[in-house]
Amino acid sequence: MAETMTKDGPEQVAGTTPAVAAPSAKAAPSGQTPQQEDLRLRERQEGWAVPLDRIEAFTMGAAISVEPDRIEAELMALWRKATERARESGARFAVARACLWNFIVHSDGEEEYRRTKQLLDEVSETVPARILSLHETWDNHSGTTSDTGSVVGDDGAPLRAYVEANYRRASGGRREVVAEEITLEASRLHGQRLPGLVRGLLLGDVPTALMVRNPAADNHWLPSLAREVDRFIFDSGKLDTGLGLLRVHTVLARLFPEVEAGKSASVEITDLGWLRLWPWRTLLASLFDTPQASAALRQLDQIIIEYVPGAEPAALLTAGWLMGRLRLNIAESGAVATAAETTTTADGQRVVTYTLSSSLVQPRGSAKRQVQLQLRETAPHPTPVGIACVTLRSGEQTFVAKGQSALGTLCVELHSPQFPPRMQPVQGRKDAELVIAAMGVGGRDPLMYEALRLGARLCRASEAKHLGAGSSHQGSSR
């Protein structure tokens, strides 16, 4: 049995004592001792290269390699020993184990894992949860660890597991250890083994959230796990093209057909990209606060949404939101190919024009109104969430929300016939704040899926026209 020396002598936990992830060559920030350093930032390696025992390492956020079939036993022992150590240490740190969610997060490849790891450390300071980090590597043998702490299944593929504590800083530099994080690491070829292990690690009596940034990626294990959670989180902001958004909608419609049919579902779907658009939606709506401006919506003639390269999904979501709120419809079935026209400007920018019909009640004797919708790609420039400008025209009246950068601050400039121009700074929220919002009451928004469904329909119409003309538009996701 392996042993790690503590200040009181050898410290052992039932079963094989796992190794602790060693720190990399990065030094602690100036003025910070190793005991104060946040070891969650360290790389995963076998062994331990600083004079800390494993209980101290656990309370400081270091990743501890464990045998996958002994995760619960090791966690119980670590929490018990950490509580005893907290009583001995006085005010240096406190242990208050809490859990509001089971939070399953997937990362594909080492680079995405590192970004995800930092995100989870920030989220855990606000939302205590049992975090289950599913890390799929791109090779058959992960290069970040040795075979210590891994289990080889019947298929000969290793599966590695790590546990660590998540904590938050209190006044006076005191650490409050509140929750745990479990990392399960396997190669992409053997990712199908992850759902079964995850199910055995979920805590009862708390809801479960699953975050997969791009559900349209090749995740064979996703269907079996997605239908068993309470909240499903994805991020359309990580998609580059409208075709990527269409593929995500197709996957979600297959996973959750009751939502696509407009029925209530046990799984709530949240899009971080939709949450990023909140300032745009709020400011656009504010253009029509007055009764005169609101009346102009019934006589709407044209909507133009301009976006920078890579922000087509955000533009489609914005268009879908406006279509849903203004009761605008696009032609279906056989007429779908004539509902969208794609052109290219002299400078190579793509413009897609749609003809929509309005189902808003019109004045007596008026014909059913048609509205032109244009999605225009513009040259790259700083603007909130990639939306450059949104213009709504109603007869002689024009309402404009224009994104720009003023003195290094992203802003939206608002123009309306009803009031003087005004500039509104837009403070974008970090990804961690968006995830926290997605796991709260604010994460429930039925308008999100309506906007996604209608945005995907717009993309499908333009792609149908493209294919009918003998060309295809390739999409990708980042």
Q: What is the pLDDT of residues 278-303, one digit of tens each?
A: 999 999 999 999 999 999 998 899 99
What DSSP character marks residue 429? P
Q: What percent of the chain has pLDDT over 70?
A: 77
Domain assignment of residue 237, yes or no: no
Q: Give residue-wise pLDDT tens across range 158-189.
A: 788 999 998 887 776 677 888 999 999 988 77
285 and 193 in a common domain: no
Spell out the residues 6+ positions from residue 199 whose beta carbon is closer than 8 angstroms to its own: 228
196 and 286 in a common domain: no
10 and 149 in a common domain: yes
Spell out the residues 6+ positions from residue 233 whose beta carbon is closer than 8 angstroms to its own: 209, 210, 211, 212, 270, 271, 272, 435, 438, 439, 443
Considering 161, 179, 206, which residue would you say is the last residue of a domain? 206
Domain assignment of residue 242, yes or no: no
Q: Give me the pLDDT at residue 466, please.
A: 57
Domain assignment of residue 448, yes or no: no
Say if residue 334's pLDDT is above 50: no
Domain assignment of residue 442, yes or no: no
Q: Which residue has the higher pLDDT, 39 or 101?
A: 101
280 and 191 in a common domain: no
158 and 279 in a common domain: no
324 and 190 in a common domain: no
Domain assignment of residue 365, yes or no: yes
281 and 167 in a common domain: no
Q: Give me the pLDDT at residue 94, please.
A: 85
Spell out the residues 6+ positions from residue 205 whose beta carbon is closer than 8 angstroms to its own: none
Is residue 228 within 8 Å of residue 467, measured between CB atoms? no
Question: How is residue 388 written in tokens?
Answer: 């450059």
Give the model's confidence band at 206: pLDDT under 50 very low, under 70 low, under 90 confident, else very high: very high
Could you give the 3-state DSSP secondary structure of residue 56? Answer: helix
Spell out the residues 6+ positions from residue 125 whose beta carbon is closer than 8 angstroms to its own: 166, 167, 168, 169
Domain assignment of residue 456, yes or no: no
Separate counts of helices (H) and strands (E) for the chain = 13, 21
Q: Give me the pLDDT at residue 85, please.
A: 86
Could you give the 3-state DSSP secondary structure of residue 18? Answer: coil
The domain tally of the chain equals: 2
Specify which residues 239 forms β-bridges with. 477
Spell out the residues 6+ positions from residue 237 whose beta carbon is closer than 8 angstroms to its own: 272, 273, 276, 313, 314, 385
Domain assignment of residue 111, yes or no: yes
Specify which residues 5 forms β-bridges with. 10
Domain assignment of residue 454, yes or no: no
134 and 55 in a common domain: yes
- State the CB neighbour count (10 A cutoff) for residue 98: 11
Domain containing residue 291? 275-437
Say if residue 35's pLDDT is above 50: no
